[in-house]
Amino acid sequence: MVMALDGIKVLDLSRLAPGPHCSMLLADFGADVTLVEAVPGASAKLGGMRSNENAERAAAYNALGRGKKSIALNLKDDSAREIFYELVKGADVVIEGFRPGVVKRLGVDYDTLAQINPRIICCSVSGFGQTGPYSNLVGHDINYISVGGALGVIGRPGTPPAIPVNIIADFAGGGLTAAFAICVAIIAREKTGRGQNVDIGMSDGVLSLMTSAFSGFFSSGRPIRPGEFLLNGAVPWYNTYQCKDGRWFSIGSIEPHFYAALTQVLGFPEYAHRQHDSAVYPEMAEKYAAKFLEKTADEWMEIMSQYDICAAPVLEMENVVTNPHNVARGMIVEVDSPVGRVKQIGVGPKLSGTPGQVRSTAPLLGQDTDAVLAGLGYDTAKIAALRDQGAVG
């Protein structure tokens, strides 16, 4: 089967979620991704999984590592760095997620690698980007969504910000944005003949996701506050309600015809023409809340799915993976692994001609070191010597 990124070779130096998510997305569409991981013991901060039963199980369920190979190199060692340079000669993309300046110290920065391979695309994924007053600050998702503006609009009035799982910065602003940028750079290379450096700051990615929200702010001068905007909980007809079974249900009937259907099904015709009358919102919300408590979340879905109403149950994780729609869309898959078949989340984008595919589970640390080095012309004795000196693992 032809895949969209067949022939694209990626070297992934990244460790934490955003970089591996980026290379997972590329691997799902056919890119040949090789993880360049730290030799065990070479760094106090970095490491990987040795070959044992627990490691095999962890690798099998590590979806971010799927479809990839793994070699272990100590890039502080001259011999290992030369191996990396050899790999760069035949590569298209290098991904790294170190703090700014680290790749320069290791001798694997874009300027160095572009001299070896002018077509190489280097993508740096960091919290605040390679420049600016925050560039050398440490951080995590919560900090990046704070600076990027997302955390400041989430929550209810008068309550602390609602902290989401690390989806917005790490995975959307970081990994997804990086994968998109790499594909753009690959297309650009077809026009220019040269690669380029890609600087992904996760706080930038978050702010980019906020483009539409800030368009309204720039136009009106009114900032969005938690729970005070149509799309973050200010109106009863775009909100969540607890049901009889303790679960929650979401409605988002913004358009007038969807709203009209909602008032009909809930049995409140008196609100049919008062969608934008904020004076009735408190009593409307109170009646809606009482009404939703009369049935379970699934019962409400069964009713509302028969009408044009923007509605859905708030699915808990255990219900997400059994939801018939998610299953029918191929978003829950089973993959063969050394520990048996394991479940993972499937491929999001559906391409008709060159679809993505989960091709294998994650490798163990250094699982492919020997094979990769043999492909570069290293014989068994040389590989053994490199391993003895700690250059490879």
Cα 50 to the center of its chain, rounded Å: 26
Q: pLDDT for 278-328, tens place per residue?
A: 999 999 999 999 999 999 999 999 999 999 999 999 999 999 999 999 999
Q: Which of 28, 32, 109, 170 is catalytic?
A: 170
pLDDT at 48 over 60: no
**236 and 130 co-located in one domain:** no
**273 and 370 co-located in one domain:** no
> Of 303, 324, 345, which residue sits at a domain end?
324
> Of 302, 324, 346, which residue sits at a domain end?
324
**248 and 363 co-located in one domain:** no
Domain-located, residue 225: no
DSSP secondary structure letter of residue 33:
E
Domain of 178, CATH number, reads 3.40.50.10540
> Starting at the edge strand that comes first in sequence, how are the strands of the sheet with 121-126 ordered?
68-72, 32-37, 9-12, 93-96, 121-126, 197-201
**251 and 312 co-located in one domain:** yes
Domain of 253, CATH number, reads 3.30.1540.10
Residue 44: pLDDT band by 50, 70, 90 thresholds?
very low
**50 and 117 co-located in one domain:** yes
Domain-located, residue 16: yes
Q: Say how many domains are in the chain.
A: 2
Q: Which of 77, 140, 298, 370 is catalytic?
A: 140
Strand partners, 96: 124
Q: What is the rounded distance in angstroms from the CA atom of residue 70 to the CA atom of residue 364?
A: 7
**96 and 169 co-located in one domain:** yes
Q: What is the pLDDT of residue 42?
A: 63
**186 and 61 co-located in one domain:** yes
Q: What is the rounded distance in angstroms from the CA atom of residue 221 to the CA atom of residue 219?
A: 6
Q: SS3 for 24?
A: helix
Is 273 an annotated catalytic residue? no
Q: pLDDT for 207-225, tens place per residue?
A: 999 999 999 999 999 999 9
Domain-located, residue 219: no
Q: What is the rounded distance in angstroms from the CA atom of residue 382 to the CA atom of residue 393?
A: 13
pLDDT at 265 over 50: yes
**113 and 257 co-located in one domain:** no
Is 257 an annotated catalytic residue? no
Q: What is the rounded distance in angstroms from the CA atom of residue 101 to the CA atom of residue 98?
A: 8
**28 and 167 co-located in one domain:** yes
Domain-located, residue 393: no
Q: What is the pLDDT of residue 47?
A: 45
Q: pLDDT for 362-391, tens place per residue?
A: 999 999 999 999 999 999 999 999 999 999
Q: What is the rounded distance in angstroms from the CA atom of residue 324 to the CA atom of residue 359?
A: 24
Q: What is the pLDDT of residue 1?
A: 84
Domain-located, residue 120: yes
**174 and 295 co-located in one domain:** no
**191 and 261 co-located in one domain:** no
**Are the C-beta atoms of 68 and 96 separated by less than 8 Å?**
no
For 4, 237, 354, 389, the CA distances from 357, given in Å and listed in that order, are 11, 38, 9, 38
Q: What is the pLDDT of residue 162?
A: 95
Q: pLDDT for 123-177, tens place per residue?
A: 999 999 999 999 999 999 999 999 999 999 999 999 999 999 999 999 999 999 9
For 147, 162, 227, 285, the CA distances from 158, given in Å and listed in that order, are 20, 11, 9, 18
> Of 307, 324, 341, which residue sits at a domain end?
324
Cα 27 to the center of its chain, rounded Å: 14
Residue 199: pLDDT band by 50, 70, 90 thresholds?
very high
The length of the chain in residues reads: 393
Q: Which structural domain, as residue segments, surrounds residue 315? A: 231-324
